[in-house]
A and B are shown apart, each in its own frame.
Chain A
Amino acid sequence: MRLLAAMGQDIRFQFRHGFYYAYAVLTILYIIVLRLLPDAMVHPALTLILFTDICALGFFFIGAIILLERGQNLTQSLFVTPLRLHEYLLAKTLSFLFLSFISALLIMLGASVGGQDLMWFIFGAIISALIYTLFGLFFAARARHVNDYFVKALGVGLLISLPIFAYLRLFDTPIFYVFPTRATLILLDVLGADYTFSEKIFSVTSLLIWFFLLSGLTYQRFDKHVRHPA
């Protein structure tokens, strides 16, 4: 119940700050672009749109939100209420997942994209969106300013996005398989390309490991630097 209330509050906040309007416009534009593209390019374009924007929107916004809440001393007030830290973090990640999911669903419906590997795709999109937001939360916990957040998070973010080169078939190395983004790109691409069952299982396992690892690290960081700041 507390989680639902916190999530509702976060969604209201995002709505009030124009996220839903911004993504309504972007969703329509993406649909138009996908419909104008030649058939062979629809799936790769969809994968790149989801990978760079729709799934990553939590990562883009969460730093500024956490800093705003910390600047208003909201987090300190929140943690003297019965709201638990894990509920606070879950509310943040799930509220962004909600926006990502609606946007992705509308883009897929608008562009008439589907296929038999839909379940793998949906799982990949959902867990990737969660990982992106957790990744942002991890850096936001210690950021001093929004620009500080972007410098640190984008630096690491660009580094772990290197598997995009493997996706574009420009450069590949087995090291990329350690990065969560390699798994994300495989699962987001299953509708348009053939991947073996072992590749899909590997991707799911990799993303689950990254999800639990980041959840634990983010919780610890928030506990230390936001809930109990020195």
Chain B
Amino acid sequence: MADYDYLRDVARQVRRDIIRMVHGAKSGHPGGSLGCADFLTALYFEVLEHDPATFSIDGKGQDIFILSNGHISPVFYSVLARSGYFDIAELGTFRKINSRLQGHPSTHENLPGVRVASGSLGQGLSVGIGAAQAKQLNEDDKLVYVLTGDGELEEGQIWEAAMYAAAHHVDNLIVTVDYNKKQIDGPLDEVMPLGDLRGKWESFDWIVLEMDGHNMEDVVGTLRKAKGLSGNGKPVIILMHTEMGFGVDFMMGTHEWHGVPPNDEEKEVALAQLQESLGDY
């Protein structure tokens, strides 16, 4: 039984980290990061079978996670540090010169927890499929998790990957879509409507689940359900309903905070809404 109150405390601290990192760097992407804080907390602190102390790129015998929408690196780095992949003090170097915490995740600086570079969208799903196929060949029964954005689904490569994963029965793969319905240029439905997203994935022969990305019990429960559905010949995708900027009132309900850092005053207003729980870095 998960300690949901603890998970919520962690997620709140992760949100504080996001605000402070993006403010400190005077650049970065707070909106999507805040929206995925609950999901990544649930994944790394409750669902993922992993051992940060023995991190290796290969990840043999462990679950692995691939972040396809690399611009939400603040939430990824915070969750990695908070779950023990590296010292939380390093979060203060985000996007600064000589840092391992690049603007978008990279393996180039050997940051523990990162297995492939992302940032240019649409590639992480394919990479996760390859990693899952390697696990199948290695008879490694652990799983591969991938997170993508929803705007990212406009990339053609996503649908190449969707066909491929179903054709090759990549059934040790659980993909989550951050379905906040917003992208840089505006609401997704204005920029490029995705239509019947559930129907699209079902027609590609994927198992489709949905969850409320801000309800910790639902996130943990749905991820566990997805895990239970693995190994049945089909890949699984979860449409995760989220709100960009969730947890900071003035960042919600708009796409304006996709890639804009808060100024000093805005940072203080935001942090006042996010009580410190595990201690700031």
Instruction: Determine if chain A interacts with chain B.
Output: no
